Structure 1
Amino acid sequence: MSVIHRLPDLLVNQIAAGEVVERPASVLKEVLENAVDAGSRAIEVQLEQGGVRRIRVADDGCGIARDDLALALERHATSKIATLDDLERVGTMGFRGEALAAIAAVARTILTSRASGSQHAWRIASDEREPTPAALNHGTVVEVADLYYSTPARRKFLKSEGTEFAHCDEMFRRVALARPDVALQLSHNGRVIHRLGVADPLARVAALMGDDFVAHAREVESEAGTLRLTGLASLPAYSRANRDAQYFFVNGRFVRDKLLTHAVRQAYADILHGARHPAYVLFLSLDPAGVDVNVHPAKIEVRFRDSRAVHQFVFHALTRVLGESGAARAGFESGTEEMPPPTAPAASGGLPSASAPRAAYPPAPPVQGRLAMDSASNAYYDFVRTARPPDTPSRPPGAPLPTAAVPDAQPLAPPAPTPAMPPDDDAGAPPLGFALAQLHGVYILAQNTRGLVLVDMHAAHERILYEKLKTVLDGRPAVQRLLIPAVFGVGARDMAAAEEHAEVLAGMGFEIAPAGPQELAVRSVPALLAAAPVAELVRKLLEELREYPATEVITARRNELLATMACHGAVRANRQLTMPEMNALLREMEATERADQCNHGRPTWTQFSMQELDRFFMRGQ
């Protein structure tokens, strides 16, 4: 048997480097974060050969005193924490005190610094014990050369120069997005890639993400207690094929957290198409004591003390912002019109238009009446009837549904006289304007103050029906008792989750009780999910309850069913609509949340301004 012995310090540092120094970008991250923690107002980064040959970071921060230079290269030496209380309330980017030691163990490292108030600077290399005098005006310069020269086997795992530089550039962007109050410059092989001056957060985002992202994003600003969420979240039309434009910061630290990612994904669930991904730059601020950043060597993962509260806060903050329909603002973005105050659905079930129509265009009748009166809509009405709370009297088969149960289910009003074309004066026109014609039974052409509006009538009506279904069925769900309880085997964790969340499950419509040491019996389920496979549904629900808030789990399942109902109930292609019906659809779009996309994430309408049309036809050229 081998004898236990203490590892040499160099080997210990090289082992630590395996966790901290994965590639040149890892080195850049640690050094940049140290520069930020030093109170720097300007930081310059120079890279050679993707950072493998050389990384140089110069800052104008507070600097390091002569007597501390050698200590800075030792393991677990730091000025940022001193007690356990400091560790539980970390307010700096770096704090472990092992990064520089790990870097120095696998690369030639030189540290030059001039502390505030010092007469001159001092320099120390990774293979030296004592610092020597050096020339430097202020701040600190860290030079890292020949990465993995002492461990050549690790160097073989590095990728091409272009790939390594791309990772360094991404790391630079993260720091730059988090700190718009710091001027930063990045050069590669002598060529300046980024030169960013001190700017406001929006300008910094535009400089790094592009003006196109800013133009297609909505500002997020929400606060609840100690939680605050700010930043920009893209509209669904700006979705991406991958996650390369997703930045989430917690107390200024870039993180990739499953809980936060899930909250964002849920907020986009109803409006994002297929496998597309949203783009966002979001900043979550909270009490440092409420988040543990010491759970990963690279500090890219975090753990929240109250994870459910954080998940709910982020989800609802984004849902509110994304729920604001652009259809209600169309025609008022040119700066010449003032946005009218938002209107709410009338108590009688009718939806008022977003602004008062002129005399020639009386209020359009609700679109729900004639459009939805087909076989699919009869199923929709029966669905609503069966999902009503138990204390609501049911109607006899074939009897008309009371209009109070389904908004806007009243018959279509007698059509009002409508001109074939709107007058030239658009003063007082609602956001989406007035219908001009129907194109091939698929699209509605309308005119508003900005120009031409093109609407996909099926996609638009699908969203309207979907949102109405959700409104009707909000609240405590109706319960369907099972004639024969569903009994199935589960593991110990599921048994514990069922017991712990029994009250929550009951509030959602599930009656679950133990049927044996490793068996559960389900006696009732929500009526909306009566046709779902019970065992599979409950197992998935219990799994989700261990990580995410219960309300989001059942909402996601319910919304899938409602989306299907709305899709089948919406007006189909080649259906000829009258002018009042087309105008009614436009008015309801303006009053519906998330009306810019259908349930599958497809756009429902688009705007062509007069300037765009003039450019296309070269008018005035």
Structure 2
Amino acid sequence: MSIRRLPSHLVNRIAAGEVVERPASALKELVENAIDSGASRIVVRLSGGGIERIEVIDDGCGMAPEAMHLALERHATSKLPESLWDSGEIQGVTTLGFRGEALPSIASVATMTIESRPRDADSGWRLVIDNGMPAGEGPAALPPGTRVIVEALFARVPARRKFLRTPRAEYAACLDAVRRLAMARPDIGFTLEHDGRRSLNVQPGEARPDRVAALTDRALIDNAVPIYIAREGLVLGGIAGLPTFNRGIADHQYLFVNGRPVRDRLLTGAIRGAYSEMLARDRHAVVALFLDVDADQVDVNVHPAKTEVRFRDPAMVRGTIVSGLRRALDAAGHRSARPTADTLAMWQAEPLSPVAPEPPAESWWSGREPGAADHVADRRPTFAAAPPLARAEAAHDPAPGTTAHPLGAARGQVARTYIVAEAEDGLILVDQHAAHERLVLERMRRALAAGGAPRQALLLPEVVELDEPACDRLEARLDELTAMGLELERFGPQAMLVRATPAMLGQSDAAGLVRDLADDLAAHDEALALAERLDHVAATMACHSSVRAGRVLSVAEMNALLREMEATPHSGQCNHGRPTWVKLAHGDIEKLFGRR
């Protein structure tokens, strides 16, 4: 069998398999070219989710006819500076594109029309390529800039076409691609239309937080904290949603490296680590992180799609992200996500239950038969309210004021679980158990930072039976567990002896605590650094602190809990990511009662 060179059109189709996986990837390449051209406004029009037609219009520098022909050759690019042509290094590339593969790859699997006019030219030029073959060219009337039209993507490659999803799903992927690029460049205006309907329109020159909120969720502005940290050539900026402002999928995490949208496991893992013990495991943070790093410290040439990167010092990058996020979330203090309209809709007037009326008094003592009017009255129901389920102490002393404290002053307790407090600007409801769980975790962290948590010796050591691997994992972490106040000792192949528990946990379930710790170590031990392992251990221990669950609290105890929450970082959410308190502003209360 002889070795032969592949024909150029087949080479382009093979390359297209890596660069153009679906309409969204083709659209991404075209919009990146528009950004690199210096455009101030980019318009995208789609039909059939981008399968039938993709149109990208920009007001950038434009191309002369000879440049248009050259752009359709593989590995021809204008984006490498002269210094890099000689050195052969591409780490210094600052443009989004640089490989010279996108246009020829797209043109090999679709009908592509390019119209372009340089800013100093009197007219433009049109070039048409039909699945890799020239199909015509000539003058074109258009303003300075470039318009690229891609039609019938994969129409002549049925093996690829059948793997495309529905137009609705392909449109969603296209929208996400444009959204991420628009987020990276708030200095550029973006418009996206699908089947004649405008679905995205942002103006140039917006502030980055406003652009992020406009493209994700307007509520993010009120439920996020800003991020900024600079360390050893790394600069991290952006915004991070409060832990209680979360989502069920990770699609609301937007990551950028040197202005390039990326999907990187290192970065997503760092986000997960920063939010650990503040989110439930099936919930995901909402963040937009912009990482700027020296060009020689990151490799953007990992994959033709350019969505993956590699860092020269991944540990420092991860540490910067984790510390930057945690510092920002620490500054949020006791903040919690504001209730949404859906939350308010859950409030409704409690229905009054009908109660059978007593017969008229006269018919019992007058000695006469009840008349017709009495029978009618007998059938009219009266209404009685359900008995109250809350408690409040008698106000022997003047009620404390509300102006000096963000979480207000305690007024009562509901179902032995929820504290009702009055703030200056609304009503506060606090889940006392969830709040106390967070407070215990933060106390343990502070104690650990100060040299170790106090412990309480058991009068009778407790034996906990486990399988041998679980005992091995616990035994390997005895020093760390001791620092957290849990004193364990190996007791045979399949048992651990508990001699002391953390004092701040009170009367905890020692056996349940040890079993949960063994499970956590099995799930996270090898993947986490020491500090993160200790956080997991502390969180598991705090979960066993249930001293305030179902406990009747005095007003003084309620207020003490509120004051500690105000002074404790992350107290707006429990260790599982649920909110510890919610506020109904005066305006919300007025809406509930129809006053506004």
Confirm or deny a common fold (TM above 0.5).
yes
Write the distance in 1 (CA, Å) between the matches of 2:479 and 2:56. Answer: 56
1:558 aligned partner: 534
Alignment correspondent of 1:100: 103
CA deviations 1:468-523 (Å, max 9, x no partner) are: 11111226779xxxxxxxxx99xxxxxxxxxxxxxxx999899xxxxxxxxxxxxx
Q: Deviations over 1:99-121 (max 9, x none)?
A: 10111111111111112322321
Question: Contact (CA 8 Å) 1:220, 1:317: kept in 2 or not?
Answer: yes
Cross-structure match for 1:594: 570
Deviation at residue 276 of structure 1 after TM alignment: 0.7
Q: Return closer, same or farther for 1:509/1:108 CA change in 2, 3 Å cut-off.
A: same
Give deviations 1:363-408, integer Å, cap 9, x for gaps.
xxxxxxxxxxxxxxxxxxxxxxxxxxxxxxxxxxxxxxxxxxxxxx
Matched, 1:88 2:91: yes
Distance in 2 (alpha carbons) for counterparts of 1:180 and 1:557: 38
Greater alpha carbon shift after TM alignment, 167-176 vs 83-92: 83-92
| TM-aligned CA deviation for residue 531 of structure 1 | 7.1
**Could you tell me how far apart the structure 2 residues matched to 1:528 and 1:30 are?**
58
Q: Of the candidates 577, 586, 602, which is equivalent to residue 553 of structure 2?
A: 577
Corresponding position of 1:610: 586
* Aligned residue number for residue 347 of structure 1: none
1:233 match: 240
- Counterpart residue type for residue 577 of structure 2: G
1:132-281 residue pairs with structure 2 within 5 A?
132-198=138-204, 199-281=206-288
1:267-306 Cα shifts (integer Å, max 9, x gaps)? 1111112311111122111112211110012111100111
* Corresponding residue of 1:452: 427
Once residues 66 and 281 of structure 2 are traced to their aligned partners in structure 1, the CA distance between those partners, rounded to angstroms, is 58
2:584 counterpart letter in structure 1? F
**1:601–1:469: structure 2 CA closer, same or farther, 3 Å change rule?**
same
SS of structure 2 residue aligned to 1:323: helix
Verify the 8 A CA contact 2:333 2:569 in the aligned structure 1.
Answer: no
Q: 1:506 to 1:77 in 2, by over 3 A?
A: farther
Give the CA deviation at 1:226. Answer: 2.2
Q: For structure 1, which segment, 82-91 or 134-143, has the greater mean C-alpha deviation from structure 2 after superposition?
A: 82-91
8 A contact 2:299–2:311 mirrored in 1: yes
Distance across 2 between alignment mates of 1:537 and 1:442: 31
Residue 218 of structure 1 aligns to a residue whose secondary structure is: strand
Confirm or deny that 1:430 pairs with 2:405.
Answer: yes
Query: Take 1:70 and 1:291, find their aligned partners in 2: how far apart are those partners?
Result: 32
Q: Secondary structure in 2 aligned to 1:93?
A: coil
The structure with more strand, counted as a fraction of residues: 2
CA–CA distance in structure 2, aligned partners of residues 110 and 507 of structure 1: 68
Tell me how far 1:261 sits from its aligned partner: 0.6
Q: 2:345 is matched with which residue? A: none
Query: What secondary structure does 1:569 align onto?
Result: coil
Q: Greater shift after overlay, 315-324 or 6-15?
A: 315-324
Q: Which has the larger radius of gyration?
A: 2
Give the direction of change, closer, same or farther, for the CA distance of 1:234–1:477 in structure 2 (3 Å limit).
Answer: same
The secondary structure found in structure 1 opposite 2:63 is: coil
Aligned to 1:75: 74
Counterpart of 1:468 (choices 434, 443, 456) is 443
CA distance in 2, matches of 1:456, 1:242: 26
Distance 1:602 1:196 in 2: 33
Shift in alpha-carbon separation, 1:72–1:217, aligned structure 2, 3 A: same
Unaligned 5+ runs, structure 1: 332-416, 479-487, 490-504, 511-526, 545-551
Change (3 A) 1:419 1:205: farther
- Using the alignment, how far apart are the partners of 2:35 and 2:419 within structure 1? 54
Q: Is the 8 A contact 2:236 2:290 kept in 1?
A: yes
Partner of 1:120: 123
Q: Is the 8 A contact 1:457 1:571 kept in 2?
A: no
Equivalent-residue separation in structure 1 for 2:78 and 2:316 (angstroms) = 33
**Residue 253 to residue 508, structure 1, CA distance change in 2 (3 Å):** farther
Identity of aligned residues (%): 45
- 1:570-601 Cα offsets, whole Å, 9 max, x none, are 42333122222111111111111111111122
CA change 1:228–1:85 in 2 (3 A) is farther
What letter is aligned with 1:467? Answer: E
Q: Counterpart of 1:611 in 2: which secondary structure? A: helix
The 1:539–1:23 alpha-carbon spacing in structure 2 relative to 1, beyond 3 Å, is closer
Distance change (3 Å), C-alpha of 1:419 and 1:430? farther
Q: Structure 2 stretches of 5 or more lacking a match?
A: 339-393, 454-467, 470-476, 483-499, 503-512
Structure 2 CA distance for aligned equivalents of residues 539 and 190 of structure 1: 49
Whole-Å separation in 1 of the counterparts to 2:213 and 2:402: 34
2:291 maps to 1:292: no
Q: Is the 1:186–1:195 Cα contact (8 Å) retained in structure 2? A: yes
Separation of aligned partners in 2, 1:239 and 1:537: 26
Q: 1:301: which partner in 2?
A: 308
Return the alpha-carbon distance in structure 1 between the equivalents of residues 396 and 239 of structure 2.
42
CA contact under 8 A between 2:229 and 2:236: conserved in structure 1? yes
Q: In the alignment, is the contact (CA less than 8 A) between 2:402 and 2:424 conserved in 1?
A: yes
> 1:24 corresponds to which residue?
23
Alpha-carbon distance, 1:432 to partner: 1.4
1:443 to 415, 418, 422: 418
In structure 1, distance between residues paired with 2:533 and 2:301: 35
Q: Describe how 1:377-396 pairs up with structure 2 within 5 A.
A: none
| TM-score scaled by length of structure 1 | 0.72
2:40 matched residue in structure 1 = 41
Size of the alignment, in residue pairs? 484
Instruction: Read off the aligned partner of 1:577 and give its amino acid letter.
Output: L
